[in-house]
Amino acid sequence: MATPAINNIANYYNEPEIILIGSFVSIETLKNNPKVTETHILEKKYMNLYKLANKLGEFDVYFSFRSSFRAKLFKFLISSKNKYQFNKYKHRNLHQVEKYNNFINDSLNTNFSAGRLSLYRDFSGVNTNNSKLTLGINPGASYGDA
């Protein structure tokens, strides 16, 4: 749901170095985006948040699409003069893509439209010559009104 917003960030900053920090699932989903240069899986323990924040060093700008207590704590620990965090109470009654895109527009004082959702996949281990592929699909999500 965040790919249009991430692409708008990349376009605004003229192809910056993008480091993704998040859960295993979010990293796996977004790591093949050509705009992403580095990824870090955020572990659950609070001491690990502190260690990772110190390891990462300073960011010019930091965006968090999460609004949980852990995300707020991690934002506090991150070294950056410009930090932005998604507020789920500010962006209501919209699709999740629009919520995230509006968050970026509000943060950067821009008016980017939400582009298309994109998934970047590495197909090197997939047999695409087979006329009948076997797919596994988990359509569930917890995005509320999305």
pLDDT in tens, 11-53: 999 889 999 999 999 999 999 999 899 999 999 899 999 999 9
pLDDT band at 74 (very low <50, low <70, confident <90, very high): very high
Full domain range(s) for residue 84: 3-108
* pTM recorded for the entire structure: 0.83
Taking alpha carbons only, the member of 49, 56, 14, 55 closest to residue 35 is 14
Provide the phi-psi class of 114: left if phi over 0, else alpha when psi is between -120 and 50, else beta: beta
> Would 141 be classed as within a structural domain?
no
> Would 125 be classed as within a structural domain?
no
**Is residue 111 a contact partner of residue 98, using CB atoms and an 8 Å limit?**
no
How many domains does the chain contain in total? 1
For 4, phi then psi, to 5°, come to: -60, -40
> Would 121 be classed as within a structural domain?
no
Q: What sign does the CA torsion over 146, 17, 84, 73 have?
A: positive
Residue 129 is encoded by which pair of tokens?
């010559």
Q: What is the pLDDT of residue 120?
A: 85
> Would 74 be classed as within a structural domain?
yes
> Would 61 be classed as within a structural domain?
yes
Domain CATH for 15: 3.40.50.2000
pLDDT band at 132 (very low <50, low <70, confident <90, very high): low
> Would 126 be classed as within a structural domain?
no
